[in-house]
Structure 1
Amino acid sequence: MTAAACAAVSMFVGLTLPPRRVLLPPTEDGTIAGVLHVHTSRSDGRSGPAEIAAAASRAGLTFVVLTDHGEATRIPDPPTYYSGVLCLDGLELSTEGGHLVVLDMPAAPQLIWGPAETVAEQVRRLGAFVIVAHPDSPKAELRWQAWDAPYDGVEWINPDTSWRVRAQAGWRQRFALLEALLHYPFRPAETIAGLLTGSDETLTQWLAVAKKRRVVGLAGVDAHAKLALRNSDPGDNRWSIPLPSYEALFRTLSVHVTLEQPLSGDAAADARLVLRAIRGGHLYTAVDGIASPPFFTFTATHAGGTADQGDEFDAGGPVTLRVRSNAPAGFTTIVWRNTEILATERSRDVTVEAPEGPAVYRVEIRAGEAYGGMSWLLSNPIYVRARN
Structure 2
Amino acid sequence: MNTDLDTDTASAQAIFQSYGGMEGLAETFALPAQPLPAGWRAFFFRIYPGLLVAATIALAATWLSQQYRSPVMLFALLFGMTFHFLHEEGRCVAGIEFSSKAVLRVGVALLGARITATQILELGGMPIATVVGGILSTIALGAFAAQRLGLSRSFGVLSGGAVGICGASAALAIASVLPRTNESERDTILTVVTVTVLSTIAMIAYPLFVTLVGLDHVHAGIFLGGTIHDVAQVVGAGYSISPQTGDVATYVKLLRVTMLLPVVFSIAFVVGRRGKGGQGSTKAKLPLFLVGFAGLVALNSLGVLPKFASDAANEVSRWCLVTAIAALGMKTSFKDLAAVGWRPIALMVLETAWIAAVTFVAVKFAY
Fold shared per TM-score above 0.5: no
TM-score, scaled to structure 2: 0.23
TM-score, scaled to structure 1: 0.22
Determine which structure has greater relative contact order: mean sequence separation of CA pairs < 8 Å that are 6+ residues apart, divided by chain length.
Answer: 2
Q: Which has the higher helix share?
A: 2
Q: Which has the higher strand share?
A: 1
